[in-house]
Amino acid sequence: MATVATKPITAEEFFELPEPADGSKQELVKGEVVTMNAPGFEHGEVAGNAYHLLRVFAKERNLGRVVVESGVITRRKRDTVRGPDVSYYSKKRAPLGRRIVKYNDQAPDLCVEVVSPSNTRKELRKKLKEYFTAGVRMVWVVEPEDRSVTVFTKPEQGHALFEDSELTGGDVLPGFSCKVSELFE
């Protein structure tokens, strides 16, 4: 059986694609569209909690912008566009009041990835490397299964925090802190 090679698409072409009718999520990986299962209820609740905590903190202090499932270009030339569950952009990277319709031209300062049952360790490691290569400064990998957060400031260096631990924004979001348990309430 012959296969037909398709031409890789760009981040700009990917943005113009219609949303999947079945509610699934898509990312662009080296020019190819990859479809994933729609996130489950728990996933959405945890991502919503992370968004709310970060959004309230950043907005009250006029620090930057927080978005949900917004595309992040992690690679050009066989473009890759990832969709972290939550992203924080300092006002330096996404100026307040500037309308950004498509993808921001700079990487977020912080990405939050909520692990779904379908995610693999290999896949998460790959995304971490891509985020940091693109200029992301911190990644939180949130594990609903054991109610933990692993904080990465480099793709190969993470430290795990559990429910009673204090999660902070470090030098990426100075002054931010919450109990890890707040992400799961």
pLDDT > 50? residue 95: yes
Task: Indicate the pLDDT class of residue 117, thresholds 50, 70 and 90.
Answer: confident
Phi, psi dihedral angles at 66 (to 5 degrees) = -125, 130
Task: Give domain 39-184's CATH superfamily.
Answer: tt1808, chain A (3.90.1570.10)
As a whole number, the mean pLDDT across the chain is: 93
The predicted pLDDT at position 53 comes to 98
From CA 171, how far away is CA 169, in angstroms rounded?
6
Q: What is the 3-state secondary structure (H, E, C) of the chain?
A: CCCCCCCCCCHHHHHHCCCCCCCCEEEEECCEEEEECCCCHHHHHHHHHHHHHHHHHHHHCCCEEEEECCCEEEECCCCEEECCCEEEEECCCCCCCCCCCCCCCCCCCEEEEECCCCCCHHHHHHHHHHHHHHCCCEEEEEECCCCEEEEEEECCEEEEEECCCEEECCCCCCCCEEEHHHHHC
More confident residue, 65 or 117: 65
Give the model's pLDDT for residue 185. Answer: 92
* Least confident window among 29-33, 120-124, 140-144, 173-177: 120-124
Single out the residue of 177, 173, 172, 146 nearest to residue 160, CA to CA.
146
Domain boundaries, the chain: 39-184
In angstroms, the CA 81 to CA 27 distance is: 6
Tell me the sheet residues that pair with 75. Answer: 80
CA atoms of 90 and 68, how far apart (whole Å): 15
Give the tens place of pLDDT for each residue, 96-111.
999 999 999 999 999 9
Residue 13: phi, psi to the nearest 5? -65, -40
- The mean per-residue pLDDT over the stretch 101-123 comes to 93
Q: What is the pLDDT of residue 4?
A: 46
Provide the pLDDT for residue 39.
87
**Residue 59 and residue 70: Cα distance in Å, rounded?**
18
Are 84 and 68 within 8 A, CB to CB?
A: no
Determine the pLDDT at residue 3. Answer: 47
Mean pLDDT for the stretch of residues 48-53:
98
Which residues are CB-neighbours of 48 under 8 A, at least 6 positions away? 68
